[in-house]
Amino acid sequence: MKLSHAEIRELKTLISFIPRRRKKHSLLIVLLTLLSTITEIFSIGAIIPFISVLAAPNELLNNEVAIDLFQFFHLNPYENLEIKVSLIFLVSIIIATFIRLALLWLTIFLSAKISNDLSISIFEKNIRQPLSHHVELDSSKFISAIASKTYVISNAIIFSMISIFTSIFILSVIVLLIILFVSKNALYALIGFLLVYYFISFITQKNVYLNSKNSAYFLDKTIKVTQETLGGIRDIILGDYYSKFIDKFRVYDMNTRLSYAKIEFISSSPRFIIESLGMILIAVIAYFQLKNSSNPSMEIAILGGIAMGAQRSLPLIQNLYSATTKIKGCIDILKQVNSFLLLKTSTNAGQKNQEEISFNKTINIQNLSFSYKDGTKVFENINLEIMKGEKVVILGETGSGKSTLVDILMGFYTNFSGEMLIDGKKLTKDNILNWQKKISHVPQAIYLSNSTIKENIIFGKNEDNFDMSFLKECSSIAYLDDFVKKSKESYETVVGERGLKISGGQRQRIGIARALYTRPSLLILDEATNALDSDTEEIIMNNLINKIKDLTIIMITHNSKNLNWFDKIIRVKNNNISIENI
């Protein structure tokens, strides 16, 4: 089955992302392939003298090459000839088998390590993208790429590419041996097998292409419906929507697995046809060669060589066909994996030696205009100044741009006209990371992992060097300590996946404690207290204002009742902002 230019291009793209150290490891595969080839030469070459000795020992003693070989190994050809030749043949077979097993082991584990490298690369490149990328990202495709598709790439493509190389190399040597030492009839049979494989690949290629697209499509759908089910489980329980989601999962998962199964069947099934044809051909060749032969003993030895050549070459031909079919069957998955690998890492993400930027005085936005990628205008020529230590509230209707404004302040959006200055220094890609390290953000929906309260507060920090006393101080400010004291496991209480074992208010308090644990200079609260009762909210806000001096707070809220906490009101409306000092 021939690969198209587009498919070869996708394979080259994949290879370009394989780390150099793995490419060096592949040299071991080349070495083992050479050793395997040598042992194949020896084992196939040994079959004819082995059968000759069993059929007519004197024939071998008349062969000068055979006598020279015995003398080279210091063996007496005139004593126990049958035993010596049999042992040589058996040892060559055993050595060849062990080398091929070593080659298989190395190939499988190298494929797994390359798959791990690709998964890490995809994961790292994606999380280092700007916020705009994550807003538009289909998370089901991302999850399936790192969790499932790189595994498919490892098993179906990387392993297959290595298998194609080794099979072609060894098969070429076997064909040469058959031409030189066995029989032209065997060569014709081999060519016939290749033509049969080519014919099968020709009639199945459309089916393989269709199943390639289906496997990639339905795998994404399976991941997506799983995410939707877990995310909306409360609504599913209340609305008794179980059947709808179960049926969706059943259809998507079944189609994914059937697509893989069809590709596997197409890649594996020709082996049984070829094995049957091989037995028939050997029987036909044996009949005609023995019928017209004047030296039956030699013909039997040659037939043994043909059988040995077929036994070695047919699996290699099957490997070539199967590997090529699997590559074609997974080409759409490969395209999706390559699309993630080709992502350019955000210019500032992970950048070392960033310029220092201090925040001791002001944040200034000057003549800033911003639009979304689709052209929707959000802000036009706005100006804003926030003093260090100020408490600022942002008010506005839903969709007016409140969250976008704080995203700009956090450096998530940089594709605006105008300037943003921190203590008079322009925010650029060369200092933005150091600015972001000074900020903590508490969103309306707090993400909590299925771990303890302590681990969720530390979130992202080094757990080996955490400060328990400071963690308790942050919990106290967030009014979380009261809940912790009532829990049997204290800070070791497991909150459940996405915090489902605790209330919304408790989740928000953990989120505030987490934000404070980073010791921020700027704290942004985006509807971060809407799940709290008014008394708890007031306690937390008073703690933030009175217990952390010089902390700058920017709060987005729809609640315009409790404005006495703030120094300044920013109202967002009609692509502009208005500022009121309190």
Average pLDDT across each block of 10 residues of the chain; the chain has 582 residues. List them in order. Answer: 77 86 82 76 61 57 58 61 68 80 83 85 84 78 81 78 77 70 62 74 78 84 84 76 87 89 79 68 63 59 58 71 80 86 70 81 94 87 93 89 91 89 91 90 87 86 79 91 86 83 88 92 90 87 89 86 85 90 80
Distance CA 303, CA 47 (A): 10
Q: Which domains does the chain have, with CATH numbers?
A: 5-341 (1.20.1560.10), 362-581 (3.40.50.300)
Distance CA 29, CA 169 (A): 12
Q: Coil, strand or helix: which one is 455? A: helix
CB contact at 8 A, 554 and 392: yes
Distance CA 418, CA 577 (A): 15
Helix (H) / strand (E) containing 150: helix 150-152
Question: CA gyration radius for the chain?
Answer: 35
Tokens at 129, concatenated: 């993208």
Distance CA 580, CA 479 (A): 30
Distance CA 214, CA 228 (A): 21
Tokens at 40, concatenated: 């194949």
- The whole-number pLDDT of residue 453 equals 87
Convert 557-577 into a string of H (helix), E (strand) and C (coil): CCCCCCCCCCCEEEEEECCEE
Residues of the chain by 3-state class (helix, strand, coil), percent to 5: 65, 10, 25
Q: What is the pTM of this model?
A: 0.69
Phi, psi of 245 (to 5 degrees): -75, -35
| DSSP category for residue 497 | G
- The whole-number pLDDT of residue 523 equals 95
Distance CA 222, CA 144 (A): 9
